[in-house]
Structure 1
């Protein structure tokens, strides 16, 4: 699985006013408002305009076969507007202009609806014209609940792939080949891990005669909060259940929403990270390198591994097929040797990979409403759903029966299944419904992820998905959403800056009380109450 943060939204950064104006002018020039959308093509077929937020690796829509099948089913011509890393900026300009294309895929969140719901169609009124969607909601009521607003309107349709992915998305890896060479055991405590990392640094475990080992590396935390496969996972050693990194610090403890940013256990994690930094065992660029650099480092050179300890989706995805066999999956480490093992937990995705609440939104003023609804229905068809997730029939998917399919290995043998999927199609979070009655031979990376979970099953059993995890589909009023976002600006700026500073320079003990005061003044308690209200309402349905 590529490193993405869809469950917590696309990462955002402040942009200059001038840049926003440029983005707005470019966007409007490229698609125009509803009055300027072409309604038919030269052959008289209706035209449907679709904007899609793609992963940077994903090929052009024109290279994919399944969109042509959608056009055939709707009897229309689709005009695609494709965006990647610049999507958030384009989206805000689009919303500010008060106009949107007929459909937006993978680009509108529940948070957007708190301010801009009037731009979008209430699809609850159109279900009879989308039989695939109607059947999805009837078959899986939780899918409908995930996107139904307080007034019972449905402005976003979800992606639904219940049970396909394992219960966790972050796995802990250590180089067993290095351990064996140095005569060391897989660590089970923080202290043991520290000693192992020191040995990785000084004893040339990859045997190339160079001090090129990186004992400990991780994906760089964002200013917008933590993500999966980042050091926040050390909180699991202290009984705090994270979920995909628990981006903004909110977590649930037996039904009570809290923030780990002010928890003394978070301070312990920071202190441990600072120890490791002082030991010189953390990658020097860990807080600055991008995803590609982190991946390249972990994949080493040929049979020569570079990284000793890290987190990732699967060993093959993180280290490449050639090096994956050197690594083993670890369970949660004890913070102290005498710690009660029942206190240990692990990062749990909850329902966030079963349902993604940003798959599709439709304009309130579509150019050809009937044609647009036919497109939506086609996207949620049995085979088009599979193709959006894994790639085209024939090249990427083999149909083995009326309701059975096999996900094929990458056509490019140099690519791992995860990278291949993201390069071939829209992948995770697209408007699909993977039917529960299908028999699917999953791709190697997902099978590998499920096998890695076996190591974690005893720890995952300590987690109650309802009482220990914030679900993905929380709904907030416009006022509450605005309050959350405004408060989070200061909260996250303070917390994420301090995490990097305290890890690399120390000072958490001296500055902790002042830090707590800053977060209190930033209305962290108010945000916790709003998250609690949304959590309680979600389970009251």
Structure 2
């Protein structure tokens, strides 16, 4: 689950942190040329190969060296990994590291496509290595061809290996409202923006949580501006716009690639949230808070909830065990009664296909050993453990039923909800894995709730035409020149957009209507016009592959 940190950087003007890491290490002579026995164990007959690796992990994730399944994987492939673990500010740290030319042998969840262009020569083209040493990854490419498409550059190279699963739903964020608060103020689940505003005002003014303090309720909260799955992007869906999370504002309508930050519907959303903010109905830290703060706030104090209306993955993950039962899912909200074809964010591609889960340093001394170790993550049984935690007596996250089926176990720590337990004990969604279609795996109670809670969006999402309504960024291809232009332009676009929307929302004296044309022109001139042309060309080429 990706979280945008750039807003905080803009608001607080954070300085870039420097980070360095010693380059690739190896245990002298290559020790990866041994045979593989029937069990899949790599037998080298020599000392372990020493590799360095970096993992950009979730803030909840525990020390990787305490994960038994990972220790077992290293033992199986006869490698000793020196892990560097990054849980915050990677976007700021990686520039200094990559510019130094000294990076770890393996990088998990640490790269994006533009890195391979900007730092040309720093990363290894793994295509030949995959063909020679990675049968599991080859199987993924063969069985799910789209994964090879998304991994391969226009020049036929592979710098980043993706992950795949078909277990996750079609949307990231569920809209939640506190039903007990609604009952307390004698109101119903809102269906339009006007109704939502009235409900939020009642939450603020009527001591909705009933603890005697009329000032501790937060009527509405979100995270990630207008980008992530738990952001205010869902208000754009209210207007009838089909969007997807984490696409830098790009969407497709009537065969044309557009950007919602310069769309009139975004202006209407901004005027709405400005009005809510001016009445104290939105968390005053919504612009600057990180994801951890966003999560902890919604978990309340004991059985006293603090947040009324918000977005999250599922109720247990969002609100914790104490107050989750107070919340219900909210069906798609319309902008007004006249809104037709109300939509909801469609995120199946982003949820189930994730690019660049692993990259390799071009300086890695033992590429064969490194590639075999990476391929181990894509083994059928290991992949389950990468995502959900270990299947052993120490990790106690998955049960082998002995009949070819498996079961995700409840948290061994009963104080933790299933989502927190998963993110603590595994690489989770940030990992490198291949979850096979048809895998007989009974998911945990949290994922069962996910399916149930998101069922209110089934009608909206079933109407989505993937080939016409969805911006397929993961599968679109660009030349190195275009990739570089997109990245540089986007940095300029983001700077203008992030400063402007946050200022508009939090300063009611700003006249959005009066400033709109100038804003649109400045965004276009900052590089959006060129980016739209580049993306349109790539989108047209993509459509030819699905005709």
Q: Residues 401-422 of structure 1: CA distance to partner in whole angstroms, max 9, x if unpaired?
A: 3531111111111111111111
Residue 159 (structure 2) pairs with residue 155 (structure 1): yes
Aligned to 2:349: 351
User: Contact 2:245–2:345 (CA<8 Å) still a contact in 1?
Assistant: yes
Task: Please give the alpha-carbon distance, in whole angstroms, between the structure 1 residues aligned to 2:203 and 2:7.
Answer: 35
| TM-score, normalised via structure 2 length | 0.89
Report the CA distance between 1:278 and its aligned residue: 2.3
CA RMSD of aligned residues (A): 2.4
> What is the CA distance between 1:43 and its match in structure 2?
6.5
Q: CA–CA distance in 1 between the matches of 2:302 and 2:345?
A: 31
What does 1:333-348 correspond to in 2, within 5 Å? 333-340=333-340, 343-348=341-346
Query: Who is 1:135 aligned against?
Result: 139
Alignment correspondent of 2:519: 515
Counterpart Cα distance in 2 of 1:259 and 1:529: 12
The answer for the alignment partner of 1:44 in structure 2 is: 47
Q: Is the contact made by 1:201 and 1:213 (CA closer than 8 Å) also made in structure 2?
A: yes
Q: Is it true that 1:244 corresponds to 2:245 in the alignment? A: yes
Deviation at 1:38, TM superposition (A): 4.0
- What are the Cα deviations for residues 348-401 of structure 1, in whole angstroms up to 9, with x where unaligned? 113112211111112233222322222122121112111111111131111113
Whether the aligned pair in 2 keeps the contact of 1:274 and 1:504 (CA below 8 Å) is yes
The Cα shift of 1:508 comes to 0.4
Cα deviation digits, residues 466-493 of structure 1 (max 9, x gap): 2222222433323222222222223222
Write the deviation string for residues 424-476 of structure 1: whole angstroms up to 9, x where unpaired: 12111311111213111112222211112211111113322222222224333
Identify the residue that residue 234 of structure 1 maps to in structure 2. 235
What is the SS of the residue equivalent to 1:308? strand
Deviation at 1:101, TM superposition (A): 2.5
Name 1:92's counterpart in structure 2: 95
After superposition, where does 1:169-208 map in structure 2 within 5 Å?
169-208=172-211
1:381 aligned partner: 379
Q: CA deviation at 1:97?
A: 2.8
How far, CA to CA, are the matches of 1:365 and 1:124 in structure 2? 16
Assess if the C-alpha contact under 8 Å between 2:8 and 2:287 holds in 1: no
Q: Which residue of 1 aligns with 2:496?
A: 494
Equivalent position SS for 1:352: helix
Is contact 1:345-1:462 (8 Å) kept? no
Mapped contact 1:229–1:245 kept (Cα < 8 A): no
In structure 2, C-alpha distance between the alignment counterparts of 1:80 and 1:293, rounded to whole Å:
27
- Work out the number of aligned pairs and report it: 521
Which residue matches 1:476? Answer: 478
The aligned counterpart of 2:124 is 121
Identify which range, 150-159 or 368-377, moves more after superposition.
368-377
* 2-structure distance, mates of 1:194, 1:86: 35
Deviation per CA, 1:15-51: give whole Å up to 9, x if none: 758x54xx24xx2xxx23x4x6443699733222222
The residue number in structure 2 matching 1:329 is 329
Matches within 5 A, 1:52-91: 52-91=55-94
Gaps spanning 5+ residues in structure 2: where?
32-44
Deviates more, 1:168-177 or 1:120-129: 120-129
Query: 2-side partners of 1:144 and 1:108: how far apart?
Result: 17
TM-score with structure 1 length normalisation? 0.90
Shift of 1:12: 7.7
Q: Which range is displaced more, 89-98 or 392-401?
A: 89-98
In the TM superposition, what whole-angstrom CA distance separates every residue of 1:216-248 from its partner, at most 9, and x where no partner exists? 111252xxx6222111210101111221153x2
Counterpart-to-counterpart distance in 1, 2:102 and 2:237: 44
Deviates further, 212-221 or 230-239: 212-221
User: Which residue does the alignment assign to 2:261?
Assistant: 261
Partner of 1:535: 539
Structure 1 stretch displaced more, 90-99 or 402-411: 90-99
Which stretch shifts more, 210-219 or 257-266?
A: 210-219
Q: Distance in 1 between matches of 2:306 and 2:86?
A: 34
Contact kept in structure 1, 2:3 and 2:291, CA below 8 Å: no
Deviation at 1:259, TM superposition (A): 0.7
Query: For 2:84, what is the secondary structure of its paired residue?
Result: strand
Cα distance, 1:335–1:177 mapped onto 2, change above 3 Å: same
Give the distance between the partners of 2:522 and 2:197, measured in 1 at CA.
32
Structure 1: give runs of 5+ residues left out of the alignment: none
User: CA distance change for structure 1 residues 245 and 433 in 2, over 3 Å: closer, same or farther?
Assistant: closer
Distance 1:302 1:208 in 2: 12
Structure 2 SS opposite 1:453: helix
Q: Please report how far the alpha carbon of residue 117 of structure 1 lies from its aligned counterpart in structure 2 after TM superposition.
A: 4.7
